[in-house]
Structure 1
Amino acid sequence: MKREQITSSKCGECEGPYALGVKMGNIIFTTQIGTDVSGAVVEGGIKAQTTATMENAKTVLEAAGASFADVGKVTIYIKDISLIPEMNEVYRAYFDEGDFPARCCTQCVDMVDGCLVEMEFVAVF
């Protein structure tokens, strides 16, 4: 199965040896942080970064022909575990109530400068 790169001008460009998103058959993989289109981490705390993270993921999913309804698993890395309630306020708004994907959330104290949250999404459509 060939790996297909997913790109979008609505997200910042990758600066390392990784893809914005990958589609393999009917599976999409993307990992996002709260950056703007220039690639800079957004200011404003966990809610602003979670919103930017979710919007970046939404952009990649849509570029591949999918949506959050197709996401089956999310892995979340958060700098401070006490920020989970605020992150959840934003996160839950992107899914239909009662129809959430499986999820793992773990604290990761050593992240990119200014980054408070990183999310990995796996979608099947």
Structure 2
Amino acid sequence: MKEPISTAGAPAAIGPYSQGILAGGMVFVSGQLPVDPATGKIPEGIAAQTEQALKNLSAILAEQGMGLENVVKTTVFLADMGDFAGMNEVYAKHFKAPYPSRSAFQVAKLPLGAPLEIECIAVK
């Protein structure tokens, strides 16, 4: 059985998908853009954008009493691989060893013209 997860602490879904899904003790969080849910705006700079995307992920995980320490896998989508080092510096501040597995890709375009999107899988 799957259960949708929703919170006002992260941007609302902009399509036919859930912010997250709980299934079998695992939480699958949809890709989070660096959109501030209070303003609907994307902050300037890859560091602030990474912070916001991770804050959005955290808000969704918190709905299930979880945090970034529960994350076992992330995927990072970047509009420009030149932003990888800046993203990675902020990302490293939020995750502790043993780090989740991760994939990172440069993509042609992201929704709302965002520079990055981060999704994750977490385990209770």
Matches within 5 A, 1:10-89: 10-30=9-29, 31-38=31-38, 40-89=40-89
> Deviations along 1:70-121, whole A, 9 cap, x unmatched?
111101110111111100111111112x321000001012112330111110
What is the root-mean-square deviation of aligned Cα atoms in Å?
1.4
Equivalent position of 1:117 in the other structure = 116
Number of equivalences: 123
TM-score scaled by structure 1?
Answer: 0.91
Equivalent position of 1:103 in the other structure = 102
Q: Is the 8 A contact 1:41 1:115 kept in 2?
A: no
Question: What SS does the corresponding residue of 1:90 show, helix, strand or coil?
Answer: helix
TM-score scaled by structure 2?
Answer: 0.92
Higher mean C-alpha displacement, 67-76 vs 33-42: 33-42
Runs of 5+ consecutive residues of structure 2 not aligned to the other structure: none
Runs of 5+ consecutive residues of structure 1 not aligned to the other structure: none
Which whole-Å CA distance do the structure 2 matches of 1:112 and 1:39 have between them?
A: 17
